[in-house]
Amino acid sequence: MGYMMIDGRKVEFTDERNVLSVIRKAGISLPTLCYHSEVSTFGACRLCTVEDDRGRTFASCSEEPRDGMVIYTNTGKIKKYRKLIVELLLAAHCRDCTTCVKSGECVLQELAHRMGVTNVRFENTREIRPLDTSSPSIVRDPNKCILCGDCVRACEEIQGIGALGFAFRGTEAMVMPAFDKPLAETDCVNCGQCRVYCPTGAISIKTHMDEVWDALADKDTRVVAQIAPAVRVAVGDSFGLTKGRSVMGKIVNVLHRMGFDEVYDTAFSADLTVMEESEEFLERLEQNENLPLLTSCCPAWVKFVHDQYPEFVENISSCRSPQGMFSAVIKEYYRSPKNSGGKKTIVVSVMPCTAKKMEAIRPNSFTRGKQDTDIVITTTELIRMIRNSGIEFETLDPEACDMPFGFSSGGGMIFGVTGGVTEAVLRRMTEGHSKVELDAISECGVRGSEGIKEVTLPYNDTQLNICIVSGLANARTVMERVRNGEASYHLIEVMACRRGCIMGGGQPPRAGDRTKAAREKGLYNADNVTIIKKSDENPLIAPLYDGLLKGKVHQLLHNQES
């Protein structure tokens, strides 16, 4: 512990890793473009520069706090310096702000406004580069890149992929995939974490909102939506509502008003996933085959295994993700002329995830060669569509999902948080459903935001070893240990994004620790208020197996051999 003087006030510090953190703790929001507490310090943007009592200026992100330091955060010299940095960044930046996807959420735009930059005196001499639209999930616009390196570090350090890097030097420097390949031809897994970290419009979501509007305008089309678990806890704060609180009922209402014919909760098909995945798990345990079972609901993780650990492809669960299962069930239901009423059916899934756009077009997830999920939009796109519609979201009353698929258990709901899939599967594998039994599961180590969690549980005569992972760099650590025989598990649950889908690449970005915790709490609260917690006790599940799914379980709920 020590003390420093910040702008004439005494501030205590303990384990803060740099002066910037101490300044922020003191309630001063210093601007930064390249600093994120979860990745390594780069010190490139210099916006967090401060001055000490001897007139020395330094980047506060790169300096350790020392007892007795005296620093000033807003001297005339620093203000001028910061303004010049922003002006120079703008000089080398495409400035089509009014039509930029990031407009209104761009950190550079916000800083220009904050620093009072109203004029850029320098000419942009950078050559205009083409956009990379090769990925099904994200778009890279090199003309809007400010070389902060945030995407590079997110991809390398958090996801352990390294699909992006710096090329060339000095004024020629650029961020791009190796050998300037299109992103779609790299090991990119479409997770969208680079887009979450990008402060400008240089990396953005590939949007599909127009396709949804077109479908809604077509009177001969039935448009059916499914909403993923994590979406409901990441929408409200954009409309001034409490951070992290589930607004599922309002989302159902707004989608009905926009013209969706039916709105469903992906948590329903997460119940189906629990049924199928636990059965597959028990079979593999019995036959001691293809263990550890690797969960298959996160498409970025599935691609990661195919690209990086091909020898484990057989271990991936054959289950489709809840997104895939739901779309297949909806399409099958409306294949019957009795239900279709002569209309074509389009399934729109609303996901916190950019990789789900890639999963939807992955041929092994199709039914009889046809794509089931027609359009995937992310939470960010949903928010934009609500704004576009002009509907006052915050004032809407909650509405329930439609029938015949409109009920889900709490087990399906918690899929959106790391550990949720495992917890739901364990609930299914437990005979009872009393509070004591369910509490024992939630307290066995499955919950919590750590990137790697290990749980050991007795099941019949076996001690089940389970590993729960979020963040692909962590997944690499675990898979290396498994490959080298240093660790052995029966089940490995992986969500590519740290903390799970609540922090997916399609969620509104710039979520701080409070937002992350609120989203997590929001989903557990949504589970708390459900009467039925176990997927197998969802009253719509058994009739579905006896009816529509009869003889078609494999065809509709499992991925085809690829």
**CB of residue 544 to ligand HC0, shortest distance in Å:** 16
Q: What is the Cα–Cα distance from 100 to 311, expressed in whole angstroms?
A: 42
> Minimal CB distance to ligand HC0: which residue?
501
Nearer to ligand SF4, 152 or 426 (CB): 152
Q: What is the Cα–Cα distance from 69 to 58, expressed in whole angstroms?
A: 13
**CB of residue 489 to ligand HC0, shortest distance in Å:** 19
Read off the tokens for 386.
């609500």
Q: Which does 229 bind (CB under 5 to 8 A by kind): ligand HC0, ligand SF4, none?
A: ligand HC0
**Does residue 31 contact residue 24 with C-beta atoms inside 8 Å?**
no
Fill in the per-residue mask, 84 to 123: x = in contact with ligand SF4 (CB under 6 A), - = not in contact.
Answer: ----------------------------------------
Peptide linkage before 404 cis (omega within 30 of 0): yes
Q: How many other β-carbons are positioned within 10 Å of the β-carbon of residue 458?
A: 8
**CB of residue 158 to ligand HC0, shortest distance in Å:** 16
The correct pick among 18, 109, 143, 193 for binding ligand SF4 (CB under 6 A) is 193
What is the DSSP track for 230-259?
GGGGSSGGGGTSPTT---HHHHHHHHHHHT
- Of 298, 357, 321, 212, the residue nearest 503 (C-alpha): 298
Q: Residue 502, interface with ligand SF4 (CB under 6 A)? A: no
Within residues 7-66, the interface with ligand SF4 by CB under 6 A covers: none
DSSP H/E element including 305: helix 299-308
Nearer to ligand HC0, 228 or 491 (CB): 228
- Of 351, 331, 113, the residue nearest 251 (C-alpha): 351
Number of residues that bind ligand SF4 (CB under 6 A): 14
Residue with tokens 């263990």: 291
Q: What is the Cα–Cα distance from 249 to 421, expressed in whole angstroms?
A: 23
Nearer to ligand HC0, 73 or 266 (CB): 266
Q: Which does 163 bind (CB under 5 to 8 A by kind): ligand HC0, ligand SF4, none?
A: ligand SF4
**How far separated are the first and last CA of the chain, in Å rounded?**
57
**CB of residue 421 to ligand HC0, shortest distance in Å:** 6
Residue with tokens 């594998």: 429
**CB of residue 248 to ligand SF4, shortest distance in Å:** 27
Q: What is the Cα–Cα distance from 90 to 124, expressed in whole angstroms?
A: 8
Fill in the per-residue mask, 126 to 145: x = in contact with ligand SF4 (CB under 6 A), - = not in contact.
Answer: ------------x-------
Count helices and strands in the chain by DSSP H and E runs:
20, 17
**Does residue 360 contact residue 349 with C-beta atoms inside 8 Å?**
yes
Q: Residue 190, interface with ligand SF4 (CB under 6 A)? A: yes
Nearer to ligand HC0, 106 or 557 (CB): 557
**CB of residue 86 to ligand SF4, shortest distance in Å:** 25
Chain-centroid distance, C-alpha 519: 12
Q: What is the Cα–Cα distance from 515 to 513, expressed in whole angstroms?
A: 5
Nearer to ligand SF4, 18 or 354 (CB): 354
**CB of residue 198 to ligand SF4, shortest distance in Å:** 9
**Does residue 33 contact residue 59 with C-beta atoms inside 8 Å?**
no
Fill in the per-residue mask, 144 to 173: x = in contact with ligand SF4 (CB under 6 A), - = not in contact.
Answer: ----------xx---x-x-xx---------
Q: Residue 198, interface with ligand SF4 (CB under 6 A)? A: no
Q: Which residues bind ligand HC0 (CB under 6 A)?
A: 228-230, 266-267, 270, 273, 297-298, 321-323, 351-353, 356, 415-416, 421, 495, 500-501, 504
**Does residue 365 contact residue 320 with C-beta atoms inside 8 Å?**
yes
Q: Which does 159 bind (CB under 5 to 8 A by kind): ligand SF4, ligand HC0, none?
A: ligand SF4
Q: What is the Cα–Cα distance from 199 to 175, expressed in whole angstroms?
A: 14
Q: Residue 191, interface with ligand SF4 (CB under 6 A)? A: yes
**CB of residue 272 to ligand HC0, shortest distance in Å:** 10
Question: What are the angstrom distances between the C-alpha of 32 and each of 36, 46, 288, 335, 462?
Answer: 9, 8, 52, 53, 51
Q: Which does 323 bind (CB under 5 to 8 A by kind): ligand HC0, ligand SF4, none?
A: ligand HC0
Q: Which does 353 bind (CB under 5 to 8 A by kind): ligand HC0, ligand SF4, none?
A: ligand HC0
Q: What is the Cα–Cα distance from 559 to 320, expressed in whole angstroms?
A: 5
**CB of residue 146 to ligand HC0, shortest distance in Å:** 29
**CB of residue 405 to ligand HC0, shortest distance in Å:** 13
What is the DSSP track for 145-208?
-----HHHHIIIIISS----EEES-GGG-EEESGGG--GGGSS-----HHHHH-SSTTEEE---
**CB of residue 303 to ligand SF4, shortest distance in Å:** 9
Q: What is the Cα–Cα distance from 500 to 418, expressed in whole angstroms?
A: 4
Nearer to ligand SF4, 197 or 333 (CB): 197
| Residues lying near ligand SF4 in the complex (CB under 6 A) | 138, 154-155, 159, 161, 163-164, 188-194
